Every structure is written in structure tokens, then in C-alpha cells.
Homo-oligomer: A and B are copies of this chain.
Amino acid sequence: MTTPQTRTPPPAAIRPGPAPWQRRFYEVIFEADTPAGKTFDVALLALILLSVAVVMLESVDNATLGEMHPRLRAWLRGIEWGITVLFTLEYLARIACVARPSRYVLSFFGLVDLLAVLPTYLGLFVSGTHVLATVRTLRLLRVFRVFKMGQHVSEANALLKALRRTWPKITVFLSVIFCAIVILGTVMYLIERDHGSGFDSIPRSVYWAIVTMTTVGYGDIAPRTIAGQSLAAVIMLFGYAIIIVPTGLFSAEVMNYARPPAGPPPGARTCPRCDAARHDAEARYCNRCGERLGEPAAD
């Protein structure tokens, strides 16, 4: 009886329109329970991956692949345009078959569906921006959801809840880190700026501080003076010591979330005669005095 709680219903439900053709379309496009719906989703998945691959391939420069055959380039463009047109039609179909189009259009996936087609058209006016079509990968989240992953969605929600509860703490934490990064970056700038080691401005030093604190460490900017390297070492050990903070906070948060609540379990009842508490939800008789308890049906 408690499992439904874990399945969080969508905040603003999107429903098919009244007309029968709308319902039929809706079943195919939005759901995956019918064979047609499943086929549609698989096709969609394939198209998304294909189109993203095409866009990426287009961007691979000649230096890497050797002069691409112009025909191949034409083919890629053609495929991308074809898929874009299909996605546009699908988008219109989705709008057509839902009860409240506005509600769909403004939903997360509604916006994603729109963003998925815009870049290609935008590319007609602003050259090069069509590569933004890779935003289509976001559509994978829908398919990923539609498939057999109902509980995953609820898990994602649980994840978000835990993150949201941890967020304030982490915000405090990050804002302190932010100050440390700005100030340490400035000091490193003062120390290293005249040694051609890449600290040629405060923003760049701050960038270096972030690269270092997060232990990414590109090495494109690295201290050379003894003083700079000493301070850098301190910063690293500092960053090494503090990465534990958000991890610990979040782990504890997830733990508390996973832990069963203290006190009597949900649905525990008390005996009307001897007041012994903590009878579990299915108990029919008091386990102290044998008194008959109210029917479990009661709760």
C-alpha cells in the first residue's frame, strides 16, 4: 500500500484529447504499452542516436578524417535534414493529440522536443549553430523513461530530493570555496605573473585555482617558482582535505533518507484494553493480552 508513494505522479498530467484519433495517436506517440507505441519509441531512439552521430561526424574536421568526399558531406546534411523534418512533424503531432497543448509545450520534454529541432533551422541563418542539434540527446531521457524504467524515475526523484536537502549545506560550502579560490588565485597571480608560467591575469589565476582545487590539473598553467609551488601544494592539500565535505554530507543525507523512521512503524496500533502499542499494521489481536484489535481494514 505504500509503494504508490514511491511513484511520484507527474505534476501536470498530460492527457490525450477527446477525439478518438487523438487517443490513438497519443497511445502511439506518448505511451509504450501497445506494440505500436513500443515500435515508435524504438524508432525514435534509433533516429536520435543516428542524428547525433551524424552531427558529430559532420564536425570532424578534415585534418582528422582526411578530405571528406563531398558526396559524404552531402549525405550527412541530407540525413540530418530528414531527421529534423521528421522530428518537426512528430512535435506537431504531439501538440495535436494532447488535450491541453500549452501544458505539453511548456513541460520539460515539450521544450526539449522544440529545442531538438530549432538548431538545424537556426543553422540556415547563423552558420555553424546547427551543431547545437546535439541537444537532441536530451530526448534520450524520454525514451529512457518510457521504456521499462518506471522505478528509475522515482529513483531519480529520490536522488533529487536528497540533493535538494543537501544543497543549502553545499551552497554554504561552495561559497566559502569560492572566496578561497578568488583570493588564492590573486595571490598566485602576484607570485607568478612575472615568470611566464601562464598566470598572466587574475581571472586566469582563478581559473587555475579551480582547475587545481577540483584536482583536474591540466598543467597548461602551472607554478614555477618555489613560492608558487609551495602555495600550490597547500592549495592541493586543502582541496584534497575538503572534497570529503560534500561527499560526507550527501552520504549522510542519503542514509537518513534510506533509514526507517524512528518510533512506532507507520500503521502501528495500540491495544484498546492494555494499551500495548507497536502492533504492526496486520495485527488482529493484542500480543500482550489477547484482546481483539480493530480490523486492519480500518487503516
Query: Quick check: is A210 within 8 A (CB to CB) of the other chain?
Result: yes
**A: which residues have CB within 8 A of B?**
52, 55-56, 59-61, 63-64, 128-129, 131-132, 134-135, 137-138, 140-141, 144, 149, 151-153, 155-156, 158-159, 162-163, 168-176, 178-179, 182-183, 185-187, 189-190, 200-204, 206-207, 210-220, 222, 226, 229-230, 232-233, 236-237, 239-241, 243-258, 260, 262-263, 265-267, 274-290, 292-293, 295-297
Chain B residue, CB-CB nearest to A281 = B277
B214 in contact with A236 (CB, 8 Å)? yes
- Stoichiometry, copies per complex: 4
CB-CB under 8 A from A275, the residues of chain B are: 295-297
Out of B183, B185, B253, name the residue touching A138 (CB < 8 Å): B183
Find A132's partner among B186, B230, B286 (CB 8 Å cutoff). Answer: B186
Identity of the chain B residue whose Cβ is nearest the Cβ of A253 in the assembled complex:
B248
Shortest distance from the beta carbon of A161 to any chain B beta carbon, whole Å: 12
Q: Which residues of B contact A237 (CB under 8 A)?
A: 174, 210, 214
28 contacts between A and B (CB under 8 A): A56-B201, A56-B203, A59-B189, A60-B203, A61-B200, A63-B200, A64-B200, A131-B190, A151-B168, A159-B169, A162-B248, A210-B236, A211-B236, A213-B240, A216-B236, A216-B239, A217-B217, A244-B246, A244-B249, A247-B250, A248-B254, A251-B254, A252-B257, A252-B258, A279-B287, A285-B288, A285-B289, A290-B290
Chain B residues near A138 (CB, 8 Å)?
A: 179, 183
Complex: how many Å from CA A233 to CA B204?
10
A237–B207 Cα distance when bound, in Å, is 11
Give the distance in Å from the alpha carbon of A144 to the alpha carbon of B177 in the complex: 14
Q: Across the two chains, which residue of chain B brings its CB closest to A205? A: B59
Q: Are B258 and A258 in contact (CB under 8 A)?
A: no
CB contacts (< 8 Å) of A295 on chain B: these are: 275
CB of B201 within 8 A of CB of A60, answer yes
- The complex places the Cα of A158 from the Cα of B295 at a distance, in Å, of 41
Chain B residue with Cβ nearest A112: B179
The CA-CA distance from A274 to B131 in the complex, in Å, is 69
Tell me the smallest distance from the CB of A77 to a CB of chain B, in Å.
15
A218-B258 Cα distance, complex, nearest whole Å: 38
Shortest beta-carbon distance, A157 to chain B, in Å? 10
